[in-house]
Every structure is written in C-alpha cells, then in structure tokens.
Amino acid sequence: MCLRLVEIFKGDKKDEMYLYVDQKEGLQKVPEDLLASFGRIESVMVLPMTQEKKLARVKASDVLRAIKQEGYFLQMPPSPEALAESQISAMVQAEEQLADAQNQEPKQ
C-alpha cells in the first residue's frame, strides 16, 4: 500500500473545481495558465491517500496516477445533468426507504 499526502486546492473563480497535488511538491508542476484559471487559490485540506481511499466524486487511483504522471489532478465541477441525475437518484432512494419503513409492521 503506497501512501501519499495529497493537498487539495480550490480557487475563487469556479465552484467545485479542485486541484490535487503531492503535498511536498505543491503547485510547482501545475501549468501557469491552469493556475490562472483558478483565480485566488487556497488550500482546502491535506489527505493521506492510497489507491483504496474512498472519495466523493473521483477515484483515488485516478488522482494518484495523474499526480505521478502529470504532477497534478484537476477535478472539474459536475455537469448540471450529472448533478440533476444524482439528486433524482437520491430522492428516489429516499422515497423507497420511506415506503419500506411505512410497510413494515410496528413491533409491539
């Protein structure tokens, strides 16, 4: 298991766009034009990351591979369609759970 400390940055120009880098290397391998697209950039967190780490929107293995090969990983905001699909899916799941709970007999 290979552990890498990954620092995550965000900018003030685009919501939900994040830049993942090796903490030791920082932003030195990130192209200037990409950094400029972030506007004012700030560190959000540092995560110990392995291939198996569970992340919300991306695979840790993809992040680690990109950092190794390119020096950074860029996480773009979800498309409006993907965001709507995930919200609909969550609503359907919640409705199914509620229906299941209502169909169960109360224990006496």
User: What pLDDT sits at residue 66?
Assistant: 95
The CATH superfamily of 4-77 is: YcgL domain (3.10.510.20)
Cα 36 to Cα 101: distance, rounded to the nearest angstrom: 51
Q: Which of 12-21, 88-97, 98-107 has the lowest mean pLDDT?
A: 98-107
Residue 58 pLDDT > 70, yes or no?
A: yes
Closest CA to 17 of 72, 81, 74: 74
Per-residue model confidence as pLDDT tens digits over 85-94: 767 777 888 8
Q: What is the mean pLDDT of residues 9-27?
A: 93
What is the domain partition of the chain in residue ranges?
A: 4-77, 78-108
- Higher per-residue pLDDT: 71 or 14: 71
Q: What is the pTM of this model?
A: 0.71
User: What pLDDT sits at residue 10?
Assistant: 95
